[in-house]
Amino acid sequence: MKRIIRAVGAGMLALGVLGTAGVAGIGTARAAEKVTLGVAIPTADHGFTGGIVWWANKAKADLEKMHPDLKVIVKTAAGSPEQANQLQDLVTVNKINALVIFPFESASLTQPVAQVKKKGIYVTVVDRGLTDKSAQDAYVAGDNTAFGRIPAEYLAKALDGKGDIVALRGIPTTLDNERWAAFTGVLKAYPNIKILDAKYANWNRDDAFKVMQDYLTRFKHIDAVWAADDDMAVGVIKAIDQARRSDIKIVFGGAGSKGMVKNVMDGAPLIKADVSYSPKFIYDAIKLTAEARLKGEKLPATTIIPSVLITKENAQQFYFPDSPF
């Protein structure tokens, strides 16, 4: 079963729409007396994961207060091996009976998560999908296809169907593959737009700065940059400014961080638009999983939260100055 949820207001998830009633499936367990839910997420190594950590801990605080029979254990990992070890601890030490995981990477975490599921633990995977879907019970993510399609459509129109683009990808994951496939799929219809190169920059400002420096050295003319992440866009702009390049007209990031949305609102020269992809979905995934398991129910197999083009006309709806991201 796949469910696509419409954005509400500023693109945030309407939890009421996602109520778990009626989604119990074959083999649904009876309501558990207590639920011990492990949450495995990356450390706050850039703005977006900072938002993930903040929302995960807020979910723990809110949900444990609401549900006396619920215990939420949040673990953060700086890499795939550490996250795999944390999964073992959550199972053997903390005795979890449900897991919400934002995998550090897709391929390397698939087998460790599959081992958790084999022990009868309910598994919800968030955002960075696994390479084998049988290792999970449910998947919650933003719309990665739209995340790649929307920037490509915007750039194609802004460049009037011709120009040279460089791209920065994130970390090798299923979601990055989906975004890249959608981005390049749109541009196949524009033979006069050339992608000069695309390299991974790990959704990291410093890595993006280095990749962009390389691009600026190798390519004497660039019309636009698809940074594919707001943090990477910051590193890209820093490299452009230091090189004093005036040929680049657009840097398109992604995720709707408050800094980039403010740039769109203020009419910053290079940041003319963005695409939404809120880290709040980790909160929603934890809430949905916890409340479903307390009832002995399951979630839909897939829940997708739409991504929306952010321009100066609607940017105010997506600006949250008090948010961590």
Instruction: For residue 11, name the pLDDT band (cuts at 50, 70, 90).
Output: very low
Q: Report the SS3 class of residue 159.
A: coil
Q: Which long-range contacts (CB under 8 A, 24 or more apart) does 187-192 make?
A: 187/152, 187/156, 189/156, 190/156, 190/161, 190/162, 192/161, 192/162, 192/163
Q: Report the SS3 class of residue 235.
A: helix
Report the half-sphere exposure of 58 (CA within 13 A, side-chain side): 15
Residue 16 has pLDDT above 70, yes or no: no
* φ and ψ at residue 50, rounded to 5 degrees: -60, -40
Give the separation between CA 156 and CA 176, rounded to whole angstroms. 20
Give the separation between CA 37 and CA 39, rounded to whole angstroms. 7
Give the separation between CA 294 and CA 136, rounded to whole angstroms. 18
Q: What is the pLDDT of residues 115-169, one digit of tens each?
A: 999 999 999 999 988 999 999 999 999 899 999 999 999 999 999 999 999 999 9
Structure-token pair, residue 16: 């009421």
Do the domains spanning 2-142+279-307 and 144-275 agree at the CATH topology level? yes
E strand map for the chain = 2-4, 35-42, 70-77, 98-101, 122-126, 138-142, 163-169, 193-200, 224-226, 250-252, 274-275, 302-305, 309-310
For residues 278 and 247, the model is more confident at 247
- What class has domain 2-142+279-307? alpha beta
pLDDT at 305: 84
Q: What is the pLDDT of residues 282-307, one digit of tens each?
A: 999 999 999 999 999 999 999 998 89
- Whether the CB-CB separation of 307 and 150 falls below 8 Å is answered with yes
Q: What is the pLDDT of residues 53-80, one digit of tens each?
A: 999 999 999 999 999 999 999 999 999 9
For the chain, the structural domain boundaries read 2-142+279-307, 144-275
Q: What is the pTM of this model?
A: 0.73
Instruction: For residue 5, name the pLDDT band (cuts at 50, 70, 90).
Output: very low
Give the separation between CA 133 and CA 125, rounded to whole angstroms. 9
Question: Which residue matches tokens 């995340």?
Answer: 147
DSSP assigned state of 133:
G
Instruction: For residue 325, name the pLDDT band (cuts at 50, 70, 90).
Output: confident
Pick the CATH number of 144-275 from 3.40.50.12280, 3.30.70.20, 3.40.50.2300, 2.40.50.100: 3.40.50.2300
Query: What is the C-alpha end-to-end distance of the chain, expressed in Å?
Result: 31
